[in-house]
Amino acid sequence: MTEARSHDVTIVGAGLAGCEAAFQLAERGHHVRLLEMKPARRTPAQTSDFFAELVCSNSLRGAALANAVGLLKEELRRVGSLLMRVADRTSVPAGGALAVDRERFGAEMTTTMREHPRITVETGEVTEIPRDERPVILATGPLTADALASSIAEAVGTKHLAYYDAIAPILSADSINWSKVWKQSRWGKGTAERAQEPGRKMMAEDAEESGDEAYVNCPFDEETYRAFVAALVAAEKVAPREFEDVRYFEGCLPCEVMAERGERTLAYGPMKPVGLVDPRTGRRPHAVIQLRAEDVAATAYNMVGFQTRMKYPEQLRVFRMVPGLEEAEFLRFGSVHRNTFVDAPRVLGPGMEMLRMPGVFLAGQVAGVEGYVESAAAGFVCAVLLAQRLAGKPLAPPPKTTALGGIVTHLGREQPSYQPSNITWAHLPPLEGTKSRLTKRARYEAMAERALADLDPWKNSAL
C-alpha cells in the first residue's frame, strides 16, 4: 500500500528563491517539503548554516523608485514578500540603498522556514531531479552541485545549461552621445563589397543604405584605441574567489584578458571594424565597439563582447573613454563568474515549468536571473503561478508594465546567447505619447508610477 503524501509541493534549495517560494505556497495553504543540504554540506561560497545566505554582499541595492531594483523591492513589499518583510526588519544604515544585518537576516529567514506549520525542512543533498515528486521546484542557485547540475543538463540538453556567466555591460540609450556614433550592421546590404575595396571612400548616403541598423557603432582612431587598450590592461580587476576555477571560454573572454594578449587582439576580435563605414568620414574606422539593443524600443544597449572582471568604478572610468559613451549611464555592469543557469527562453514554458519535464519548475538564479532581489522575485512569481495552477485557475502572470512582469519578460526573451540579468528598465515597455519625452529621471518615475498602479488590480485578482 502506498503511503499518502504529507506535502503538496517539493522545493529543492533553501536560498532566497527557495525560501520565498516555500513561504508563498505555504501561506496559500499548501504543504511544502523543503530539501536543503545545509548543515550537512555547504557550497564553496557559503560560510554559515543559515538559509537564504547572502554570500557576496549584505546590500539589496538601491531603494529609490527611479531605480528599477528599487521598484522591484517596492512591488515585492506590496505583494507580501518574505524577503522584503525580513530585510526591512533587519536593515542597517546604507545611504540610498537597502542593506541588512547579514546574521540577523539569515537567522530570521531560517527560523521562518523551520517553524512554519506548513513547511517541513529535510536535510540532505539532492543529486538528481526527484523522480516521483511532482510538482517540484528546483531553486538550487548559481553554484548548483555538480551531480544535480548534470541531472538538469540531461533534462534540458547540455547546450542549454551554462556553468560560467560572462555578462557585458548595459547602458541607457539616453546617455549615448548620438553625434559621435552611427547605426549600421557589419557587412551592410548592398555595399559590403565596396566597403572593403582598398582606398575606397564611400559617401555618407552609401553608408546610410549599408545595413539594417541593428547595431550602434562607437568609432576609434588609432590614438584613442591605443589609450583604451592600455586603460583596460592597467585597470583594477576583481580577483577570482577561492571556489572559482577560472577557465575562460575562448568565445567569451573578458575584454581585459584579450587586451593583455596584445595591443591588436581586440581590433581583430570584438572591436574589428571590417564591414563598417563611418558616414561622417566615408572611411572604415581604426576600431569600433558595437552596441546592440536590449529591448524592442531600444531604450538600453548592450556592449557587445565586453564582458569584464574590472571593478565597477573602473568600468565606469574605462568605458567612458569610448567615443560616444563619455557620459554613459550603466544600467548593469559587466562581470564574469561561476554560475549555473539554463537558457530560460528555450527551456522554460509558461509558469517557469521545464518544457521537457512537466511538473518540474525552476526558480532563482538557476532559472536565469541575476541578483538577490531578482532571485527572490523569481521564487515569488514561480510560487504564485504554481499556486494558481494547483487551484485550477488559469495562469495570470504579473503585468508586463511591472518589475515583477519584467522578470518574466527577461526569462522569455530569446537572445543569441542567453545571459542572466539584473532587473533593468529595458525589461519594462517604454512609456507612450508625451510621457516618452520626459527627462530620464522623470520618465523612470512615471514608469514606476504606472507599474504600481497596474500592480494593485493584479494583486487583488491573482493573489
Phi then psi for residue 353, to 5 deg, are: -95, 140
Which residue, chain included where needed, has cell 559590403?
192
Q: Report how far residue 61's alpha carbon sits from residue 73's, in angstroms, rounded to the nearest whole number.
A: 10
Q: What is the 3-state secondary structure (H, E, C) of the chain?
A: CCCCCCCCEEEECCCHHHHHHHHHHHHCCCCEEEEECCCCCCCCCCCCCCCCCCCCCCEEEECCCCCHHHHHHHHHHHCCCHHHHHHHHCEECCCCEEEECHHHHHHHHHHHHHHCCCEEEEECCCCCCCCCCCCEEECCCCCCCHHHHHHHHHHHCHHHEEEEEEECCEEEHHHCCCCCCEECCCCCCCCHHHHCCCCCCCCHHHHHCCCCCCEEEEEECHHHHHHHHHHHHHCCECCCCCCCCCCCCHHHCCHHHHHHCCCCCHHHCCCCCCCCCECCCCECCCEEEEEEECCCCCCEEEECCCCCCECHHHHHHHHCCCCCCCCCCEEECCEEEEEEEECHHHHECHHHEECCCCCEEECHHHHCECCHHHHHHHHHHHHHHHHHHHCCCCCCCCCCCCHHHHHHHHHHCCCCCCCCECCCHHHCCCCCHHHHHCCHHHHHHHHHHHHHHHHHHHHHHHC
Cell of 52: 537564504
Q: Which residue ranges make up the annotated binding site for FAD?
A: 13-18
Q: Which residue ranges make up the annotated binding site?
A: 13-18
